[in-house]
Amino acid sequence: MAYFQRRMDGIERGGKIAADVFCILLLAVLAVGCLGILSGVAASVLVVLGVLTIDYYTADPDDHVAGVIR
């Protein structure tokens, strides 16, 4: 699945990036506060990679064949 859908304009794309960066930083700060620096950063990276993997395999309306999952 593409990160940006075809029908998104520049403002929506910028907002999506800003929201994602804010969420990643918030997650990292909370993880570092609870687990320590090394463990917190590692946990944040693993969670972000997991979310990106799920996002990649989720179908969206822009896919030509809606029933096909990669």
DSSP states along 13-46: HHHHHHHHHHHHHHHHHHHHHHH-HHHHHHHHHH
Confidence band for 15, pLDDT divided at 50, 70 and 90:
confident
Burial class (CB in 10 A: 0-12, 13-18, 19+), 66: exposed
pLDDT of residue 2: 63
Q: What is the pLDDT of residues 17-64, one digit of tens each?
A: 888 889 899 999 999 999 999 999 999 999 989 888 887 777 666 656
Q: What's the start-to-end Cα distance of the chain, in Å? A: 9
